[in-house]
Amino acid sequence: MRFLITAGGTREYIDPVRFISNASSGKMGYTLARAALKVGHQVTLITAPTTLKPPTGVELIRVESAAHMFAAVKEHFGQCDCLIMAAAVADYTPARPSKTKLKKQSAKLTLELKPTPDVLKWAGRQRKPGPTLVGFALEDKDLRANAERKMREKRLDMIIANTPGAIGADTSTLHIKTADSHWIEVNTARKTASAARIIRIIETLRG
């Protein structure tokens, strides 16, 4: 199979040196890429900035912003059998980023933000049929209900839900659901084991 996997947290620049981002380490996306490579699949990894070493054997594409990630996914989507959106793509970006460094002032600074492109929703609309679509849902309340809503709205084949405690950790509890299955809970497993299980489930979905 040909996997297209996204990882890391995007940076949305306020000015040339300051940006809005999130706490994503990219570990899950990179671990999924290694797991897919280990069992013989091809992997294109689209990564926002991280401190992680890329897995040997991937086709690596580095991006920064949500817009850059969207463009990269659109470019490679047609050649993949499965898209896994493990990246933490920013929901908002500065509406009018400054071309020069903003100077500190005594007055308050108000930032106007605009929504970023919804990569998964775009991918869901392209299916006819097409690649298997896998998304992640990071939820701090009503985890399964919110994840199922995301799965329906974005037309996903599989959703993986977790809590903010998973950010940057080597272990996490995952809740996994496919369109035709009940929820599966993977309790406090290392991300290497969880990633291998996710790849096996995807292989089953693809037949």
Q: Are 3 and 82 in contact (CB under 8 A)?
A: yes
Tracing tokens 């996994």 back to the chain, one arrives at: 176
Given 22, 146, 162, 187, the catalytic residue: 22
DSSP of the chain, one letter per residue? -EEEEEESB--EESSSS-EE-----SHHHHHHHHHHHHTT-EEEEEE-S-SPPPPTT-EEEE--SHHHHHHHHHHHHTT-SEEEE-SB--SEEESS--SSPPPP-SS-----EEEPP-HHHHHHHT-SS-SEEEEEEE-SSSHHHHHHHHHHHTT-SEEEEE-GGGTT-SEEEEEEEETTS--EEEEEEEHHHHHHHHHHHHHHHH-
CB atoms within 10 A of CB 193: 13
Is 187 among the catalytic positions?
A: no
Quick one: angle between helices 191-206 and 27-38, nearest 10?
A: 60
Enzyme catalytic residues: 22
